[in-house]
């Protein structure tokens, strides 16, 4: 079993930094070891975001006009833009606060290879994810009929083998669920859990819908199953006789990986959704295969952005939205100057918690719903390696490499998909969800902790499995994301507040973001963007 989570608010900065490894508090390499590699700190523009709290923006000195203004250039905003463009609606603009669009699906580039800063894979989409399958067909990744039960996918995007491995008790093992050295009872529980999840993938509620569908809006509304949202995932496991430490570790890892939260603080409905919602298959791949590329999901973001073209405006911070009988007035900070946009309609595709800060006349109940919810802080690091590091015994290097007893989630290998295997260098992308403290405390840590401290802790962690990784690392960059995703805490999905966001209807303003689903997945963000665009077009009389 994993160690207990520290009491919320009772986990000190020093306690946390002690988990980063030897030398972390000093922020330098221990005596006798090579100096820390150079690098930079990147991340979401907290300076711009925090400016919303202080206000004091310059008065607008120019006016621009557009039909539809999309605020947020992440996956939901880009999906909305694509949907408008496909319907021949070209009078729109996308405003993105960051220097480039893509949200959590952005990437970095080196002379050797591209690498992700966030989301890095897409499970095979099931038949319910029709729009996603059509996008993949447009991009040439899904070949043939998008509606086929088992489509054919471009081999270059199917994750090469081995796909994943785990380091436990001094040995690498294939797969993600620990197998070696387990008692017969634990193995039996693993088999029973797997069979149970396969059953839930096919199960339907009293309304005829799949109990756990993707996108989640298509899931059954059977009250008996929605009630699972009220309890933690850990409680559901114990109540169903799943007490095996390896299963509890897997459940917690899954919640940390997809939701940025501990399984004791994650809705049981969300925990089961992780295991039971994905039912995609392929003619030329196993059901558990994923689609990926060296740059993570950035290729998907680019595919969506192509429809918007030059209508995307980066470095654009929306700081005030007002509505009158003629339309919407939106004030935007661009390069330290304010621009006033006049628009007929608006799609809000940024995180929900920001909207009350910029829309003074936001309805009270909607404002309360937007302000409810927790957001997970995340840390990503990219380690540029001169050569592949020394390996411990066991299964060979995989695309996804997980350390069992580790504060981090492990790392992926950017060059794993490349056909040319003789190159020496590579990039390891390391992920860590700050799940073991209150989100606000995690955000403070991200802001206050120097890059050198993070770098030392990450190298010390990875040295357990790659003794020479410090010597092989030529550069180590850090990416901070204080509000990476909304956490599906118990009661947050079907307790009313999220549903108020998802159910909001207005002829001029539509909401679009994975926040409306209650957790951050590519499929959810895309679905919410498409639905918002369709509502806007219907309100404007552009669709039937």
Is residue 382 within a helix (H) or strand (E), and if so which, with residue range? strand 375-385
492: confidence class by pLDDT, cuts 50, 70, 90? very high
* CATH superfamily, region 47-106+296-373+489-539: FAD/NAD(P)-binding domain (3.50.50.60)
How much is the pLDDT for 31?
63
11 against 297, higher pLDDT? 297
CB 76 within 8 A of CB 528: yes
pLDDT score recorded for residue 20: 56
Rounded to 5°, angle at Cα 371 from 360 and 436? 150
> For residue range 92-104, what is the model confidence (pLDDT) as tens digits?
999 999 999 999 9
For residue 459, CA distances in Å to 24, 103, 382 come to 10, 27, 11
What is the signed CA dihedral for 528, 258, 122, 406, rounded to 10 degrees?
160
Structure tokens at 460: 């010390």
- Pick from 1-10, 386-395, 424-433: least confident: 1-10
Note the residue count of the chain: 544
Fold of 13-33+375-485: Polyamine Oxidase; Chain A, domain 2 (3.90.660)
Q: In the predicted model, is pLDDT for residue 22 greater than 50?
A: no
Find how far residue 275's CA is from the centre of its chain.
Answer: 16
| pLDDT per position as a tens digit, 112-168 | 999 999 999 999 999 999 999 999 999 999 999 999 999 999 999 999 999 999 999
pLDDT of residue 4: 31
Strand partners, 290: 123
Which residues, 6 or more positions from 500, have their beta carbon under 8 angstroms from its beta carbon? 365, 366, 369
Please tell me the predicted confidence (pLDDT) of residue 275. 97
Comparing C-alpha atoms, which of 427, 423, 532, 422 is closest to residue 469? 427
184 token code pair:
């017969």
**Is 29 strand, coil or helix?**
coil
Nearest to 317 by CA among 499, 2, 44: 44
Q: What is the mean pLDDT of residues 205-214?
A: 96
**Average pLDDT, rounded, for the chain:** 92
Instruction: Phi first, then psi: give them for residue 65, nearest 5 degrees.
Output: -125, 145
* pLDDT at site 277: 96
Per-residue DSSP letter, 285? B
- 3-class SS letters over 128-197: CCHHHHHHHHHCCCEECCCCCCCCEECCCCECCCCCEEEEECCEEEECCCCCCCCCHHHHHHHHHHHHHH
**Which is nearest to 404 in space by CA: 266, 245, 221?**
245
Angle at 483 between CA 480 and CA 484, to 5 degrees: 75
pLDDT at 421 over 80: no
Q: Are 185 and 169 in contact (CB under 8 A)?
A: no
pLDDT in tens, 332-363: 999 889 999 999 999 999 999 999 999 999 99
Angle between helices 245-259 and 268-276 (to 10 degrees): 90
Taking Cα atoms as reference points, which of 80, 146, 68 lies closest to residue 344?
Answer: 68
- Alpha-carbon Rg for the chain in angstroms: 23
The position carrying tokens 């999906």 is 79
Torsion angle defined by CA atoms of residues 369, 524, 97 and 447, in that order, rounded to the nearest 10 degrees:
80
**DSSP assignment of 469-528:** HHHHEEEEEEEEEEEEEE---TTSSSSSHHHHHHH---SSEEE-SGGGTTS--HHHHHHH
Query: Which residues in 441-453 are b (16+ Cβ under 10 Å) and which e?
Result: bbbebbeebebbb
Per residue in 55-78, pLDDT (tens digit) is: 889 999 999 999 999 999 999 999
Q: In which band, very low, low, confident or very high, does the pLDDT at 423 lie, cut at 50, 70 and 90?
A: confident
Domain boundaries defined on the chain:
13-33+375-485, 47-106+296-373+489-539, 128-291
Round to whole Å and give the CA distance between 131 and 146. 9
Give the sign of the dihedral formed by CA 25, CA 26, CA 29, CA 32: negative
Residue range 128-291, CATH number: 1.10.405.10
Q: What is the DSSP letter of 450?
A: -
- 169: exposed, middle or buried (Cβ count in 10 Å: 0-12, 13-18, 19+): exposed
Q: Per-residue confidence at 28, pLDDT binned at 50, 70, 90?
A: low
Beta pairing class for 509-511 and 410-413: unpaired
Average pLDDT of span 473-483: 97
- Inter-residue contact 407 to 19 (CB < 8 Å): yes
Per-residue tokens: 513: 């973001």
Residue 461 DSSP one-character state: H
pLDDT reading at 2 higher than 50: no
- Say if residue 257's pLDDT is above 70: yes
CA distance 153 to 33: 46
Kindly report the number of other CB atoms within 10 A of residue 256's CB atom: 24
Residue 120 confidence (pLDDT):
95
3-class state of residue 104 by DSSP: helix
Predicted pLDDT at 17: 56
**Is the model's pLDDT at 169 over the cut of 50?**
yes
């Amino acid at each position: 079993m994993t160690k207990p989570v520290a009491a919320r608010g009772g986990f000190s900065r020093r306690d946390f930094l002690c988990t980063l490894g030897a030398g972390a508090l000093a922020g330098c390499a221990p005596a006798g070891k090579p100096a820390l590699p150079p690098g930079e700190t990147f991340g979401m523009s907290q300076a711009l975001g925090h400016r919303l709290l202080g206000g004091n923006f310059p008065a607008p000195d120019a006016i621009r006009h557009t039909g539809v203004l999309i605020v947020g250039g992440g996956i939901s905003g880009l999906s909305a833009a694509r949907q408008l463009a496909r319907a021949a609606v070209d009078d729109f603009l996308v405003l993105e606060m960051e220097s480039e669009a893509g949200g959590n699906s952005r990437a970095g580039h080196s002379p050797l290879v591209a690498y992700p800063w966030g989301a890095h894979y897409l499970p095979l989409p099931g038949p319910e994810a029709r729009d996603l399958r059509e996008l993949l067909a447009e991009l040439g990744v899904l070949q043939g009929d998008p509606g086929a039960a088992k489509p054919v996918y471009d081999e270059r995007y199917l994750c090469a083998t081995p796909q994943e491995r785990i380091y436990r008790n001094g040995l690498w093992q294939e797969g993600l669920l620990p197998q070696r050295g387990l008692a017969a009872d634990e193995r039996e529980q693993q088999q029973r859990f797997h069979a149970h999840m396969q059953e839930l993938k096919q199960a339907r509620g009293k309304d005829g819908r799949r109990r756990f569908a993707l996108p989640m809006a298509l899931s059954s509304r059977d009250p008996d199953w929605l009630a699972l949202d009220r309890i933690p995932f850990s409680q559901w496991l114990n109540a169903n006789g799943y007490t095996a430490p390896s299963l509890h570790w897997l459940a917690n890892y899954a919640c940390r990986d997809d939701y940025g939260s501990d399984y004791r603080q994650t809705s049981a409905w969300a925990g089961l959704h992780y295991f039971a919602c994905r039912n995609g298959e392929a003619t030329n791949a196993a059901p558990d295969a994923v689609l990926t590329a060296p740059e993570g999901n950035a290729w998907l973001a680019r595919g969506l952005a192509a429809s918007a073209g030059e209508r995307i405006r980066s470095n654009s911070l929306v700081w005030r939205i007002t509505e009158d009988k003629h339309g919407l007035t939106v004030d935007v900070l661009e390069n330290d100057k304010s621009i006033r946009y006049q628009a007929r309609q608006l799609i809000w595709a940024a995180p929900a918690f920001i909207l009350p800060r910029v829309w003074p006349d936001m309805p009270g109940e909607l404002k309360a719903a937007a302000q409810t919810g927790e957001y997970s802080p995340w840390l990503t690091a990219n380690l540029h390696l001169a050569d592949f590091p020394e390996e411990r015994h066991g299964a060979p290097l995989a695309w996804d490499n997980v350390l069992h007893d580790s504060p981090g989630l492990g790392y992926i290998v950017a060059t794993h998909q490349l056909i040319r295997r003789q190159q020496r260098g590579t990039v390891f992308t390391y992920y860590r969800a700050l799940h073991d403290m209150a989100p606000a405390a995690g955000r403070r840590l991200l802001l206050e902790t120097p890059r050198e401290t993070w770098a030392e802790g990450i190298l010390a962690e990875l040295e357990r499995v790659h003794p020479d990784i410090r010597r092989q690392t030529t550069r180590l960059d850090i990416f901070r994301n204080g509000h990476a995703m909304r956490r599906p805490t118990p009661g947050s999905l079907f307790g009313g507040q999220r549903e108020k966001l998802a159910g909001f209807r207005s002829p001029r303003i539509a909401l679009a973001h994975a926040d409306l689903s209650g957790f951050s997945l590519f499929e959810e963000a895309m679905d919410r963007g498409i639905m918002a665009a369709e509502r806007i077009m219907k309100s404007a009389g552009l669709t039937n």
